[in-house]
Amino acid sequence: MSDIILPGADGVLYQRDRAWHPPANTPGYKSTTFRAPRNALLSLSGTASELTGPTFGHSAINPLDNDLIRNYSQDGSEAIGQRLIVYGQVLDENARAVPNTLVEFWQANAGGRYRHKKEAYLAPIDPNFGGCGRAVTDENGFYSFRTVKPGAYPWPNGVNDWRPAHIHFSVFGHAFAQRLITQMYFEGDPMIWQCPIVGSIADKSAIDQLVARLDRHNTTPMDALAYRFDIVLRGRRSTMFENKLEGN
């Protein structure tokens, strides 16, 4: 019964540390200029509207949904690029695993090109790479998928800005106020530290949380390198449940 969320004074989420996240307006990332709200956010303690959220079952996840090497194959061939396993655990701020939650991911291909009609980069499309996938975490909060390493690519911001190799992540948790979108980077990539989007985060240790670690133990020999990327969602204050302090 550890997933029951009760509205009220207990069971609300810890206050979001807005200084740990990027602020809305970060001039180095020019697209924020006209898209950042200027008024203060309205503080709202949790009601059922924020403390509940959609949950997803394993049943409708197709076997290839977490295999970006094969899930868009047009001719039976696999996607081109360096083969990777990306995996990790979804936790909350109390270090409790978040089971049965939907994790979605999308990325550029090995050349740094997205499959999108507005994408103008000259790197070629891979006919067998779509660039999206999803997984539902297991009972211990773990997800995993196979993919190819995305390429770095230039983007229209500064005259010569480049994105480091990255994978976009979307995570639900069990409350709508836990909803999170972020990006994963690769350990040791010098491109991380020159990126204006990474630089929208002020605290270096917060950025470190977005850097996946090379994991030699989970490498598939003669096949794929492994990177581990754990994701932490907002935690909630303890709730008395059946007279027991729950979740501690």
Partner 1 sequence: MLHPVPTLKETPSQTAGPYVHIGLTPNFAEIKGVYDADPGSTMLTPDTKGDRITIVGKIFDGAGAPVNDALVELWQADGDGSYVAPMAPNSNSAPAFTGWGRQPTNGDGVFSFETIKPGPVPGPDGKPMAPHVNLWIVARGINIGLQTRLYFEDEAEANGQDYVLNKIMDPRRRLTLIARKEAGDVPRYVLEINLQGDKETVFFDM
Active site residues: 114, 153, 163, 166, 168
Q: How far is the CB of 31 from partner 1 (least distance, A)?
A: 3
Of 1, 75, 76, 117, the one binding partner 1 by CB under 8 A: 117
Stretch binding partner 1 (CB under 8 A), from 75-83, 115-123, 144-152, 216-224: 115-123
The residues near 208 (Cβ < 8 Å, ≥ 6 apart) are none
| Separation CA 243–CA 113 (nearest Å) | 55
C-alpha R_g of the chain:
19
Give the pair of three-digit tokens for residue 29. 């990332």
Does the footprint of partner 1 cover residue 8 (CB under 8 A)? yes
For partner 1, how many residues bind (rule: CB under 8 A)?
Answer: 96
Residues 57-96 close enough to bind partner 1 by CB under 8 A: 57, 59-62, 64-65, 71-72, 91-95
Of 4, 27, 54, 194, the one binding partner 1 by CB under 8 A: 54
Q: How far is the CB of 183 from partner 1 (least distance, A)?
A: 4
Stretch binding partner 1 (CB under 8 A), from 45-53, 78-86, 140-148, 216-224: 45-53
Give the pair of three-digit tokens for residue 34. 């006209």
Does the footprint of partner 1 cover residue 125 (CB under 8 A)? no
Residues 9-28 close enough to bind partner 1 by CB under 8 A: 10, 13-14, 16-18, 20-24, 26
User: In this complex, which beta carbon is closest to partner 1, that of residue 85 or of residue 128?
Assistant: 128
Closest CA relative to residue 199, chosen from 70, 5, 26, 14 = 26
Amino acid at 78: E
| Separation CA 38–CA 217 (nearest Å) | 47
Of 111, 147, 150, 234, the one binding partner 1 by CB under 8 A: 234
Of 4, 27, 55, 220, the one binding partner 1 by CB under 8 A: 55
Closest CA relative to residue 88, chosen from 225, 1, 177, 213 = 213
| Separation CA 238–CA 103 (nearest Å) | 25
| Separation CA 136–CA 56 (nearest Å) | 7
| Terminal alpha carbon distance of the chain | 13
Residues 177-216 close enough to bind partner 1 by CB under 8 A: 177, 179-183, 197-198, 200-201, 206-207, 209-210
Q: How far is the CB of 83 from partner 1 (least distance, A)?
A: 19
Residues 156-175 close enough to bind partner 1 by CB under 8 A: 168, 170
- Signed CA dihedral, 194, 196, 197, 199: sign only: positive
